[in-house]
Amino acid sequence: MARSGTLAGPRRRGGMGLARREAMMGLLLVSPWLLGFLIFTLGPMVASLWFSFCEYKVIQPPRWIGLGNYQRMFADELFYKSLSVTTRYTVVSVPLGIVAALAVAVLLNQNVPGARVIRTIFYLPSVVSGVAVALVFSWIFNYRFGILNYVIGLFGIRGPDWLGRPQWALWAFILMSLWGIGGNMIILLAALQGVPVSLHEAAEIDGANSFVRFWTITMPMISPALLLVTIMSIIGSWQVFTSAYIMTAGGPAYATLFYLLYLYRNAFNWFEMGYASAMAWVLFVIIFVCTLLTLRGSQNLVHYEGA
């Protein structure tokens, strides 16, 4: 006590000064992020909200038109098309992708020799995303000479003209998204590895078979990871751009006019900055609502340890 008293003495004198100095230093060191947030996130978001109420074609200054852009959106068939394309893509590719990622993660969690190598292979597509993948897949999906239809043909089925037919083009993109499940798979695998073995052993002694154990122990334990993966996948699916830009340019007959592709064209091909800003805000609201709904809907399903 006496020792700590003597130590506290000189400290107390400078106490206020030290805390203030730390606060100053803290704010100073955090300022790069704070500035970046204001300049590159908050500022642009506020600006784009304002632009969304303006006609703004870059060469002239923005002109206030109230809800004009939003009204136009309601009448814009291509806007609806892009909305429907992206929604359908999300509704199919996200659940399929998560189920596939979970299935692979469960298989890899079985401690078979070589699991590490297979895990690496599954993650590899996430590293080479973008242009290279789009180039490779445009050849793979080729109607007559593509390897995919060749493989399908081996089973006696005639493969469709993947990228040339409106009813098939989106399926090509969904198939491609399944190729990239590795990122989600690794998150789920890590969650699976975090499930305590003791829980499974206890349930096994109580006579629960592996199916029951999966639903009553594994699923609740990995539910936070599943939720995270779901939200990230939904956000990602609304941002498909490069593959659509390179492989189909939105075609055929706008069948792959993804939301971001249409937004890009409005902004950077037609310089409709006001309209594009309105679209960006609608996108923001969509993603926000999707995230909120996922969180709400999963409230009773997600189990948090110790909560």
Partner 1 sequence: MTTVASVRRGRSRRRLVREVARKLLVYLLLLPLTCFIIMPFAWMVGSSFKPIGSGIKFPPQFIPNPVVFTNYPLVFKTIPFLMYTRNSLIVTLTVIVGEVLSASVVGYSFARLRFPGRDLMFIVLLATMMIPYPVTMVPTFIVFKILHWVDTYLPLTIPAFFAPPFAVFLLRQFFMTVNRELDDAAKVDGCNELRILFQILMPLSKPALTTVAIFSFTANWNDFLGPLIYLSSARMYTLALGINYLRSFRGGGDLAPQMAAAVMFSLPCILLFFLGQKYFVQGIVTTGLKG
Tell me, letter by letter, the H, E, C secondary structure of the chain: CHHHHHHHHHHHHHHHHHHHHHHHHHHHHHHHHHHHHHHHHHHHHHHHHHHCCEECCCCCCCEECCCHHHHHHHHCHHHHHHHHHHHHHHHHHHHHHHHHHHHHHHHHCCCCCCHHHHHHHHHHHHHCCCHHHHHHHHHHCCCCCCHHHHHHHHCCCCCCCCCCCHHHHHHHHHHHHHHCCHHHHHHHHHHHHCCCHHHHHHHHHCCCCHHHHHHHHHHHHHHHHHHHHHHHHHHHHCCCCHHHHHHCCCCCCCCCCCHHHHHHHHHHHCCCHHHHHHHHHHHHHHHHHHHHHHHHHCCCCCCCCCC
Cβ atoms of residues 188 and 222 within 8 Å: yes
Q: Judged by CB, which is closer to partner 1: 169, or 186?
A: 186
Q: How far is the CB of 5 from partner 1 (least distance, A)?
A: 19
| Nearer to partner 1 among residue 85 and residue 267 (C-beta) | 267
Q: Which is nearer to partner 1, 41 or 216 (CB)?
A: 41
Report the residue number, 184 or 254, with the smaller CB distance to partner 1.
Answer: 184
Q: Which is nearer to partner 1, 92 or 287 (CB)?
A: 287
Q: How far is the CB of 65 from partner 1 (least distance, A)?
A: 16
The CB-of-163 to partner 1 minimum distance in angstroms stands at: 14
194 versus 297: smaller Cβ distance to partner 1: 194
- Indicate if the alpha-carbon torsion angle 167, 168, 173, 174 is positive or negative: positive
Quote the least distance from Cβ 264 to partner 1, whole Å: 7
**Complex with partner 1: residue 48 or 248, whichever CB lies closer:** 48
| Minimum separation from the CB atom of position 225 to partner 1 (A) | 8
Distance of closest approach, residue 116 Cβ to partner 1, in angstroms: 9
Give me the least distance between CB of 72 and partner 1, in Å please: 16
